């Protein structure tokens, strides 16, 4: 059974960089898309972007283009979400999730990573 | 970008009751690419319905989805205690893959 296991909670200061991870169990990592979803405190879900690890084809929501970078390392079945300079408004829970195909829903979710950005 | 609105914002019902949740899109959703997710406090979302009406693996048949084009509905036929949660719709046919703002189903 495939699982997505995310890295632990982070507390950072504004301006710092951060890279969080999402590791998939099993050997099918290169056969599906991995997306990232933001949930700000007490708010709804926002799709940030998606990567196809096999060829690193990456799609971003216009709202997040240029704000974050999505990447993947197929040798360790891991997808990443990174920031070069965090802002307080980046405080949120970030979920990774699997899509089986380009026109598929998110059918498997990680447990979420809480990122807190505060001076 | 396809905008999604959900109504009502909050639905207060008793266990055993019937819940009808609405999701309306600002433009037609391609090929029924509309999903519903359930999220409980402190948990990740869980896929309930995809393709507007197909239940995901392991989802009880009291959950059903319907609709097409711009109007979609999630129905919970008989609310169980574990069904009280927030429900989100999402369209995944046109990038960016937007979510609705959610409907909270709480206990009356």
In the three-class reduction of DSSP (H, G, I as helix; E, B as strand; rest coil), residue A15 is classed as coil
pLDDT band at A92 (very low <50, low <70, confident <90, very high): very high
Please identify every stretch of chain B with a pLDDT value under 70, giving residue numbers as ranges: none
pLDDT value, residue A103: 85
pLDDT value, residue A1: 80
Q: Quick one: which of A23, A36, A18 has its CA closest to A106? A: A36
**Which one of B45, B92, B95 has the shortest CB-CB distance to A45?**
B45
Q: Does B31 touch chain A (CB under 8 A)?
A: yes
**Which one of B31, B44, B99 has the shortest CB-CB distance to A109?**
B44
**Which one of A47, A109, A111 has the shortest CB-CB distance to B98?**
A47
Contact predicate A95/A40, CB 8 Å: no
pLDDT value, residue B6: 98
Contact predicate B47/A107, CB 8 Å: yes
pLDDT value, residue A24: 94
Residue A79, burial from CB neighbour count under 10 angstroms (0-12, 13-18, 19+): buried
Cα-Cα end-to-end distance for chain B: 36
Judge whether residue A30 has pLDDT over 90: no
In sign, the C-alpha dihedral spanning B49, A21, A114, A47 is: negative
* Cβ <8 Å between A45 and B88: yes
What's the mean pLDDT when you consider all of chain A?
A: 95
Judge whether residue A29 has pLDDT over 90: no
pLDDT band at A3 (very low <50, low <70, confident <90, very high): very high
**CA of B59: which chain A residue's CA is closest?**
A107
Give per-residue pLDDT as tens, A37-68: 999 999 999 999 999 999 999 999 999 999 99
pLDDT band at A102 (very low <50, low <70, confident <90, very high): confident
């Amino acid at each position: 059974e495939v699982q997505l296991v995310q890295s632990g909670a982070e507390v950072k200061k504004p301006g710092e960089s951060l890279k969080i991870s999402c590791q998939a169990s099993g050997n099918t990592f290169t056969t599906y898309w991995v997306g990232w979803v933001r949930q700000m405190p007490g708010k709804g879900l926002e799709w940030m972007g998606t990567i196809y690890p096999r060829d690193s084809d990456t799609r971003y929501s216009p709202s997040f283009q240029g704000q974050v970078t999505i990447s993947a390392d197929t040798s360790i079945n891991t997808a990443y979400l990174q920031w070069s300079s965090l802002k307080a408004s980046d405080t949120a829970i970030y979920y990774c999730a699997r899509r089986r195909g380009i026109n598929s829903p998110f059918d498997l979710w990680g447990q979420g990573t809480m990122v807190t950005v505060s001076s | 970008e396809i905008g999604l609105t959900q109504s009502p914002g909050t639905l207060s019902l008793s266990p055993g009751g019937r819940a009808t949740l609405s999701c309306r899109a600002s433009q037609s959703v391609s090929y029924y690419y509309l999903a519903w997710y359930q999220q409980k406090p402190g948990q990740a979302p869980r896929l309930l319905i995809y393709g507007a009406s197909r239940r995901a693996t392991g989802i009880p048949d009291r959950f059903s989805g319907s609709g097409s084009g711009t109007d979609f509905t999630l129905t919970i036929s008989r609310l169980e205690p574990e069904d009280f949660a927030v429900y989100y719709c999402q369209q995944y046919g046109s990038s960016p893959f937007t979510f609705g703002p959610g409907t909270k189903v709480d206990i009356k």
